[in-house]
Amino acid sequence: MRVAMYYNNRDVRIEQMEVPRIGPGELLVKVWASGICGSDVLEWYRLAKAPIVLGHEIAGEIAEVGDAVQKWKRGDRVFVSHHVPCNMCRYCGEGHESCCDTLASTNFYPGGFAEYLRVPEINVRNGVYALPESMSYEQAVFIEPLACVFRGQRHAGWRPGRRLLVMGCGISGIMHIQLARTAGASRIVAVDINPQRIDSSLKFGADVALPAGKDLIDRLKEVNDGRLADLVIVATGALSAIKQAFDAVDRGGTILFFAPSDPGAVVEMPFNKLWRKEVTITSSYAGSPRDINAAIELISSGRIDVTPLITHRLPLDKTQEGFRLVAEAGGKSMKVVIEPQR
């Protein structure tokens, strides 16, 4: 079978591998669609494991079923979660499945940028979901990233009527805007450095979009009835945005740090100011089974329309082009979907 082997952002090669053999409790999935995630192009995170077949936002069709698998059959349309929790440890029991040791050690093989992948037994038990008939494979690519977004807002104590500031309008920021709008936000202000992304934020639900800059806090008050934000979602790893989040949050508000920054990044925090304002600071990583089910419902019901977010559909042979589009982050692409069967 063909795979897209990642060496770095400028070197993704189409190579041949054997179709994986599955065990009694495993599945073989034919990959129909696989999205390129922003984390796929973080070289500081990926290069240590290269060469590697990446791709974790996948949807496909079961091609082979292990003898011990009873729930699934050949031809079933599925989303498969690459990392799965054990659902038994204290972290899982307390609702922090993404902190589970099992989650960090699980994955399917070889990766989503391949014609086929093997789903290990624990992923079969804890991470395979049937796709509704109304959901296309390319729509299903958004299940994983939307689950992450849903989890983030849930961790931030989402309540209808809140005023949001979304900092960073890449694909994650846009999905935060979409979800917040659907969930009853009273006002959403979006911020980015890229004019195209600023325009996209308005298209997908922001009330106001502002260019990033040193005078952001003053401009936020101007467009927000003199108020700061009840919830600040930092969907970028830029240190300047992280620092501004401390000034942008209102009394009693919440800051959600959703995106990673560079390794070793350190940010000074105005501790007394935040303490006096009773600010909650939280973060989120990945999505739990609960969040995945919520994402499936949001997409299949049409409450979140993900199809307009797809800017490029490429065959597996053009995966290098897809990585270039995502890595450049210049606003020309939103979601790039690789179709391994083309």
* Three-state DSSP state, 209: strand
- Distance CA(167)–CA(245), nearest Å, equals 8
- Predicted confidence at residue 80, as pLDDT, reads 98
Q: How many CB atoms lie within 10 A of CB 287?
A: 26
Distance CA 253, CA 236 (A): 19
pLDDT of residue 175: 98
One domain, residues 173 and 266: yes
Same domain, 268 and 294: no
In a domain, 187, yes or no: yes
Domain termination residue (choose one: 236, 259, 283): 283
Is 314 in contact with 338 (CB distance < 8 Å)?
yes
314: containing domain? 2-143+287-339
Point out the domain boundary residue: 261, 283, 305: 283
Residue 248 has, within 13 A of its CA and on its CB side, a CA count of: 33
Q: What is the pLDDT along the chain (342 residues), one digit of tens a residue?
A: 999 999 999 999 999 999 999 999 999 999 999 999 999 999 989 999 999 999 999 999 999 999 999 999 999 999 999 999 999 999 999 999 999 999 999 999 999 999 999 999 999 999 999 999 999 999 999 999 999 999 999 999 999 999 999 999 999 999 999 999 999 999 999 999 999 999 999 999 999 999 999 999 999 999 999 999 999 999 999 999 999 999 999 999 999 999 999 998 999 999 999 999 999 999 999 999 999 999 999 999 999 999 999 999 999 999 999 999 999 877 678 999 999 999
Question: What per-residue confidence (pLDDT) applies to 98?
Answer: 93
pLDDT at residue 201, rounded to an integer? 97
Rounded-to-integer distance, Cα 301 and Cα 48, Å: 40
Chain position carrying tokens 């307390």? 94
Structure tokens at 154: 């849930």
Query: For residues 179 and 160, is the Cβ–Cβ distance under 8 A?
Result: no
| Largest pairwise CA distance in the chain | 64
Q: Is residue 150 domain-resident?
A: no
Q: At what angle do helices 195-203 and 171-182 cross, to 10 degrees?
A: 20
Strands 280-283 and 57-65: unpaired
Residues 241 and 311 in one domain: no
Residues 259 and 304 in one domain: no
Query: Residue type at 337?
Result: V
Q: Are residues 274 and 301 in the same domain?
A: no
| 191 and 312 both lie in a single domain | no
Domain tally, the chain: 2
Last residue of a domain, one of 283, 299, 327: 283
End-to-end CA distance of the chain: 13
What integer pLDDT is reported at residue 194 of this predicted model? 94
CA distances from 322 to 57, 71, 310 (A): 14, 35, 12
Q: What is the DSSP string of 287-333?
A: --HHHHHHHHHHHHTTSS--GGGEEEEEEGGGHHHHHHHHHH-SSS-
One domain, residues 279 and 314: no
β-sheet bridge partners, residue 118 = 28, 109
